[in-house]
Every structure is written in C-alpha cells, then in structure tokens.
Structure 1
Amino acid sequence: MVRKPPSSADVALIDAAAARGAVISATQLERWRRAGLLPDNRRHGAGQGRGSTSTAPAGIIDLVVWLSAHARPGRRPHHVALEAFGAGLPVPEATVRAAWRSTITDLGVGPAPVPESGTDRSEWIAETAERFADKHSRNIMLMPRRVRDIDTRITDLGLSWAPAGVAQYDRGTHQTDPFTSRDFVTLAMSAVLGGSSELNGANLAAFSRALSPEGAVSAVASMLEYPDGNPDLADINDGQGLSLLPTGDLRDDLDQIITEASPAHLYAAWHSVDAMHTWAVTLCDQVEAELDLLAAGRSQQDYPALLQWYHGIILGPHRLLLRQALQKTDTSPAARAGTAVMLLAMATGMSRLRVMMPDSQFELLPVLLPPFLEQLAAMIAADPPTSLRTAPADQPVRPAGR
C-alpha cells in the first residue's frame, strides 16, 4: 500500500517536535489521530483554485511532544487521554468524555437485564453484588490502619467519642451483627446497580457506624435507624422530578454528570484527587502531632485537627473520604478518574441540594466538607449543569433521561 506523503502541517509538527528533542513520524501522528488522541489538522482553501492546504490546531505541539513520551505501544488510549487531559493538554473532547465514561462502565458486571427478559432486576442486583463481593471483599479494608491507629490513640488518652452536646441525638443502635468488608462491598455494588431502591436506613446506618470508632455517637446513623415517619430514601426529591438520590442504575446518573460537566469541572475533579490525598495525609499528621502534645501533658488552647476529626465522625463525609484517600488501591488513570467521578457526583449533589432547598444554611459547608470538596462544590454551584439550572415555575427541572 502506497502511503501519501505527510501533509505540510504534519511536516511542520514533526520539525517542531524535533526542535524540542522529540523524534516522531507521520505514521505515529496518524495512529494517534485514529485513537482519538490528536485532533485532525484544519483544512482550508489555498486560494486562486490551488486546492486546499492544512494547518495544525494552535498549541498542538505541546500535546504531540507529550504523546511522544507517554503514548507507548500497549498503553490503553483512554488511559493516555485521561493523563494528557489531566496535564492540561488539548486532547479531543469526545475522546476525553469517552475515557471518563469508561471508568463507570468497566465494572465487569455488565448491563442490567431489560425488563422484558423476565429476569427480576432486584434479584439480579443481589446475585451480582454477591458475586462481586466474593471476588473483591478479601482485598478490601473498611478503614485504613492509620485511621484506626489514630482512633485507638484518642481512646487510650481517655477522650470521649460521645460529647454531651451530641450524644443526646443518638438513640443507640439495635444492630447486633458486625458490619464487615464483605457487607461494604455488597452494599456499594447494590447501590451502584440499583440506586436508592436497593438501600435502606438500616444498612446505611450500619455502614456509617462501621466507619466510626467504637462508641462514637452518630446522629446521622440514628436518624437512619429511627426514621420516625421521615420519607423513604427513594422519596427524597423536590416535587418536580429532581431527586437527590438516583432511583435506578447509578451508572446512568454518573454518565449524565460526565455528559453535563464542563471541561473545567472535569479538570478540577481530576486534580481534586491529589488534593484529597494531601488533605488526608496532612490531617493525619496534624492529629498525630496534637495527640503527641496531649500524651506529653503539654496543653494548648486549641486543637483544630482533633476538632476536625470529631466533626468528620459526627457530621460530614470526612471518614468516607479519608478511607478513599488512604486506601492502597489501584493507581491507574482509570482508577483515578473513577475517584474523580465520585467527587464530582458529591459536589454536584451539593448543587442539587441548593436547587431543592435554596433556604438552607449552605454557608456551613466549609465546616462540613473538606476544603477540596467544598471548593469543587462552589465551582459547580457557580456554573451548574443544565439539569440543575433554575427553570420557570411551570417548567419542572428534570435530569435528562428521567
């Protein structure tokens, strides 16, 4: 097969890359374009009936040089696309979004059966979650050792996990069986595949208490165990079709979040993963330093890190985020994007709450949320996705596909 000679635009790219020490070929450029990693050259008329010519998109040389160093044979194009996007390079947007979507579909469980198949969906979810737990629960730890060690030090110093001002809001648990790593994996997969329809207050309360140290009070867990007529999880909505919790396959909801997120939001979510890890390590360092002071009998006026540790147990999602940040898990680009999608979903949920409950005290978010998540939530609130923008009173706001 006779190949066409490289276009003038590609020759210019090859020369510019060589000037920066990157040796590439026209064949490599073609391969990257076929993989969606490199945008096509822009064609335009040469003028005076001389046909057309092409030019490379502005700023593309940085991407070409980066690809020459990172797009090695055998690497998955989606992984390369995610890393290039995270580096701030102009990867084609369609490829970037496809790469993000692949992180929520590559669970190895397949799509849910269609209703016409005769398969009961709840039964399929339960069986799939059990199989997933069989395969993965042995490698899962409920809480990282560093967090458990800090909790033990706090207990050994005689500090109470049940402050008087908060203990009154926890009526105690009626759960007797321990919540295990297998329970966590089963619950998480059931929630992914079935949304709030597969959740109930009892198993969420057990999960919440399992993340906390023994003897810690949890007003949130108590509310879940003793709902006292509060609405079911699946009924939490604004009356206009805007639900706080998805009622079906969570992958559909996450797909919508990725579709509606701006490139800036995706980029911020990607880098929030690093910020989450830095926050978690720094918080542990600071709490351990304050515990050292207490153990040595050296008191000080304030213990801000310990206070944040307690706030995380009593109020916010800190424990779940600490768990995610400190787990020794897969560090591939796909795994990082999966964590970023989780953060993006949490931040988008904050914006959904702003629409559903506009008079709430959102000024308290900096206390309830770690700084990286509060900043991401504020960014999305300032430029919300289409499905969360305020609509006229006679036009209900409904997420796509609902």
Structure 2
Amino acid sequence: MVRKQPSRADAALIAAARERGAAPTPTQLERWRAAGLLSRNEQHGAGQGRGSVSTVPADALNLVVWLSAHARPGRRPADLALEAFGAGLPVPEPTVRGAWLAAAAPRLDALLEPEEGADRSDWIADIAQEVAAKHSGKSVLLPQRIREIDARIGAAGIPFVLPELAPFDKGTYETEPYTSRDFLTMAVSAALGGISELSEGDLAAVARAMVPSGAAVPVASMLEYPDEGPKLADINDGHGLTLLPAGDARADLNRIVTKASLAQLRAAWLAVDDMHRWAVSLCDTVEAELDALAVGEPLPECPGLQQWFLGIAFGSNRLLVRQALLEPTPSMTARTSTAVMLLFLATGMSRLRVMVPGSQFELLSVLLPPFLYQLAELVVADLPASLRPADSA
C-alpha cells in the first residue's frame, strides 16, 4: 500500500529527531499516535482561504526521541506510557490515566461478579479463599532480610518491648499462628469488600503478624481494645466519605486516581523509587549498627534501629519495607500498583486530618518516611479550600 508523504510538521519533527540521534519513521509516528502515546498534530487555519496547516504539540520532540529509544516489538503501549510519563514527558493524559486505572483495579484471575441476588459477602469469602489457596505457596509474610535483622536484634539482647510503648499494648487475645494464606485472604477480602468485610481484629492480626514475636504494638492493641473510640468503619467526613473504603476498594482507588492531579500521579510514581532506596538504606544502616554493637563499638545514637522500632510499633513503615524488599525490580504494572498504594495512603492521611481535626499530625514528619510524608503534603495542598484541614492553611 502506497503511503502518503508525511506532513511538513511531521517531516520537520523527524528531521529534528535525527539531529538528536533518533531515527523515527512516519509509520512509527502513526503507530504511536494510534496507541495514544503521542498527541496528534494541532490544526490551524492558514489564513486568507489557504486551507490549514499542522503544527507539532509542544515538547513532542523530546517524547519522539524517547520513544525511538524505548519502543520496541513486544513492549506494551501502557508500559511505555507509564515509563515516559514518569520521566516527565508529555504523554496524552487519557492514556496515562487509563494505564493508572488498570493498575488501580486489577483483575483477580477470572473474577466474575456474583449473580444477581446472591450474597456478596459469601461471594467475597469464596473468591478470597480461592485466590489464597492458589497463591499462598508463592507468598511470604516477611522477606528474609527483615527476618534476619529481627533475629540479630533479638540475639543482641535488645528487647522488642520498648518501655515507653509497653503501657499502650494490652496484649493480644489471638492464639492461632498467622500465615501467608491468612494475609492473602484478608487482602482479597479488603480489595473486594473494603472495611465492611474486615473487623478491627483482622487488622490487628496483620499488624502483629508483621512484627517479631512479643513486640509491643500499640496500634494493634488499639484495634483489639477500641474502648470508647470510634470504629474505623465509622470515621467519616459527614458527607459520605469514609476513612477506609466501605465497599469494593477498587472503586475507591479508581476515584483517587481519577481525581488526582498529574503532579500527584507523577510524585507517586517517583515515590516508588524513593521507597526502594529508603528501605534498602534503612536495612543497610541497621545492619551496620548491629555490626558495630557486636564488636563493642560505642554508639551514642542508632538512627537506623530507632526507625526500625518505629516501624514495628506503628506498622505502616514496616509494610513499606516489606513491599520494597519483595519487589526490588517491579514490572511497570507492579510499580504502578505500588504507586497507587502510596497515593492511597497519602490520601488517607489527608482525609484523616479532615475527619479527626486537632490530632498531633505534626508528628507525621517524624513517623513517616520522607517520600510518603511529602506525597501526603502534596495531596493536602491540592485539596479544595473547603476540605483542607485547618493545620495546613
């Protein structure tokens, strides 16, 4: 088939790319536009009845040079879109959001919605059990490096029950060991049913399973013995928005991704790299401190061990280290899924500041790793003025 000659705008774009060492063809430009990776040229009237002329969108040259280097047979357009977007290139927004939304609401095997009139809770339980039975053998609760560091801390005679935190943990009433299958069952139930399919006890069991035996875990104790405090499912903003998803969590994740600004999405994407660097650096620091203690070297401060124990006490940091070590080189889809998780956590913190005003949120800068704190601050800064917490004004 005879192809028409490229427009003047495309010819100029190809020539400029060749000056940068790239060699795109007119066919490639057509293919990238059809895949949503490259915006189409803008049409403008030539004036005085002379028809129209096309111009290349701003910054298209950088994207074309990048695509020439990275696009190859077998690479999915969605993966290219995500990687180029993360690099700060002008990928069309609908393509970017589509790839993010696909990661926010992944398919769970051949998941089918329940039949009309069927009990959704029973359906969720069946699906969770099925997925857990299929994948539990491939999953671990804690990566080996975390377990080894915990073992070294215990062997060094450092107690996991910190005196400052001991009064805030009443002890667990759970007696059954928590397994990777239990974790997967809980994760799938939470994804399909939100907080309505979980109890505070379920979440407490996860918090205790993620830490060394006998550690003081105030967060788990608060969940197991809520006293007069509000249940997690009841924390809301008074306008129908709950702190944790009340139903299918994928719908909430879709909503978060849809409403997030491109700046937030890019920040969450970059935060995945920061999370991996932070997790590895934390492990390196703790191991170096343990090496020094083992040879009797005096250490007036142990910032690594302090952060390690914060993760044990409050849970979220521990889960982030776990995630980073389990996927040191994530695929594009896995990386985006992790970025969605980080954006979910940051959004939850911004919601909490609105729903529970007056709490000591100034401590977040100390308790959270820098990448998550910065992402949470970005989310808060982008909230409408009516929803922005007073302490961020």
How far apart, CA to CA, are the structure 1 residues paired with 2:323 and 2:386?
Answer: 28
Within a 5 Å distance, the mapping from 1:142-291 to structure 2 comes to: 142-291=141-290
CA contact (8 A) 2:10 2:26 kept: yes
CA contact (8 A) 1:265 1:380 kept: yes
CA contact (8 A) 1:316 1:368 kept: no
CA contact (8 A) 1:351 1:388 kept: no
Deviation of 1:390 after TM superposition, in Å, equals: 7.4
Sort the Cα spacing of 1:316 and 1:384 in 2 relative to 1 into closer, same or farther, 3 A: farther
Aligned length: 390
Deviation of 1:156 after TM superposition, in Å, equals: 0.5
CA contact (8 A) 2:381 2:388 kept: no
Sort the Cα spacing of 1:123 and 1:386 in 2 relative to 1 into closer, same or farther, 3 A: farther
CA contact (8 A) 1:242 1:356 kept: no
Deviation of 1:177 after TM superposition, in Å, equals: 1.0
2:43 aligns to what SS in structure 1? Answer: strand
2:49 aligns to what SS in structure 1? Answer: coil
1:53 aligns to what SS in structure 2? Answer: strand
1:371 pairs with 2:365? no
Query: Corresponding residue for 1:38?
Result: 38
Partner amino acid, structure 1, of 2:232:
L
Deviating more after overlay: 25-34 vs 129-138: 129-138
Q: TM-score with structure 1 length normalisation?
A: 0.93
How far apart, CA to CA, are the structure 2 residues paired with 1:110 and 1:4?
Answer: 44
Deviating more after overlay: 329-338 vs 279-288: 329-338
Deviating more after overlay: 275-284 vs 170-179: 170-179
CA contact (8 A) 1:205 1:221 kept: yes
How far apart, CA to CA, are the structure 1 residues paired with 2:385 and 2:256?
Answer: 10
Partner amino acid, structure 2, of 1:59:
D
Deviation of 1:331 after TM superposition, in Å, equals: 1.6
How far apart, CA to CA, are the structure 2 residues paired with 1:133 and 1:188?
Answer: 9
CA contact (8 A) 1:109 1:128 kept: no
CA contact (8 A) 2:105 2:253 kept: no
- What percent identity do the matched residue pairs reach? 61
1:22 pairs with 2:22? yes
Sort the Cα spacing of 1:237 and 1:77 in 2 relative to 1 into closer, same or farther, 3 A: same
Deviation of 1:211 after TM superposition, in Å, equals: 0.3
Deviating more after overlay: 10-19 vs 337-346: 10-19
How far apart, CA to CA, are the structure 2 residues paired with 1:260 and 1:175?
Answer: 39
Q: Which runs of 5+ in 1 are unaligned?
A: 392-402
Partner amino acid, structure 2, of 1:294:
L
Partner amino acid, structure 2, of 1:252:
A
Deviation of 1:3 after TM superposition, in Å, equals: 3.2
Partner amino acid, structure 2, of 1:49:
G
Deviation of 1:386 after TM superposition, in Å, equals: 8.9
1:94-132, Cα deviation, whole Å (9 max, x unpaired): 100001001123333467736x71221111111111111
1:302-360, Cα deviation, whole Å (9 max, x unpaired): 11111111111112511100100111477211110000000001011111112112322
Deviation of 1:26 after TM superposition, in Å, equals: 1.0
What RMSD in Å do the two structures reach over aligned CA positions? Answer: 1.9
How far apart, CA to CA, are the structure 2 residues paired with 1:49 and 1:390?
Answer: 56
Partner amino acid, structure 1, of 2:353:
R
Deviation of 1:239 after TM superposition, in Å, equals: 2.8
Partner amino acid, structure 2, of 1:170:
D
How far apart, CA to CA, are the structure 2 residues paired with 1:300 and 1:18?
Answer: 57
CA contact (8 A) 1:236 1:243 kept: yes
Sort the Cα spacing of 1:387 and 1:346 in 2 relative to 1 into closer, same or farther, 3 A: farther
Sort the Cα spacing of 1:310 and 1:390 in 2 relative to 1 into closer, same or farther, 3 A: closer
Deviating more after overlay: 101-110 vs 179-188: 101-110
Q: Which runs of 5+ in 2 are unaligned?
A: none
